[in-house]
Homo-oligomer: A and B are copies of this chain.
């Protein structure tokens, strides 16, 4: 099973992420069994992305130096076939994030992970749209995710987070596989970085899995199962965050996986 493989192989996951949640993301990766590296110097980012098992690009708090590092890292990842995840934080509200996302997408992310509004923003930006609202559900982002998969041939999957997560990957021929995954805890959006950490977990599982859908499914299940276990321990958002890290290490995934994943329709795009 992928979870045990993650612990056994402890793949190096290079994260170019935001300063708000960089500590929490590193601790989430360690708790899940991966080896995080958060170097964001432009002179180091390319080499590290080439050496890593996977790369995470999270646009939470970009600055000119970290953007230069992201360019180096995504180019190196493309050259080295390092799978990478784009988490376009803020792309729904901030034009710069959409521009950066579209630029980096030319270097072939394996998976894009975001909320419904962010996924809609990326699809609309491509069509030069404007004024995307930030309050869409994951289900509302499904059409945009299909559009992204149709337009970007190297893209392996799109994960849309929400109260029900929607995961889209490539099926046979032009088909798109769609899975919906319920579960998790209402405390998750009350702690900064639970979404960022989920993007990092997708990257970690991509490092040990050939299939983007497998990586998205196990990462989302891992995060959600840990959240449900943490909720039983939590007295508030502070203790929830701590217990979620504990549970990323200790939670049993099999019962969760059997009960919470609904295989969606395999539609022609």
Contact = CB atoms under 8 A, between A and B. Distances in A.
A236 B247 contact: yes
Interface in A42-95: 43-44, 47-48, 51, 60-65, 90, 93-94
Contacts of A244: 238
B190 A31 contact: yes
A191 B41 contact: no
A121 interface: no
B36 A61 contact: no
Interface of A: 18-24, 26-27, 30-31, 36-41, 43-44, 47-48, 51, 60-65, 90, 93-94, 96, 189-193, 233-239, 241-250
Contacts of A236: 31, 243, 245-250
5 contacts: A19-B38, A27-B191, A30-B191, A41-B96, A241-B245
Contacts of A27: 191-192, 237-238, 241
Contacts of A31: 190, 236-238
A23 B192 contact: yes
B63 A41 contact: yes
Q: Which 10 A-B pairs have the closest CB atoms?
A: A236-B246, A238-B245, A238-B242, A26-B192, A236-B249, A238-B246, A20-B38, A31-B237, A235-B246, A63-B65
Contact of A237 (B30, B36, B39, B189): B30
A20 B22 contact: yes
A243 B236 CA distance: 8
A244 B24 CA distance: 16
A94 B20 contact: no
A37 to B, nearest CB: 8
A36 B192 contact: yes
A34 B257 CA distance: 33
Nearest to A15: B20
Contact of A239 (B30, B64, B246): B246
A24 B245 CA distance: 15
B235 A239 contact: no
Contacts of A96: 41, 43-44
Nearest to A69: B63
B237 A243 contact: no
A196 to B, nearest CB: 11
> Which of A30, A39, A62, A243 has the most chain B CB within a 10 Å cutoff?
A39
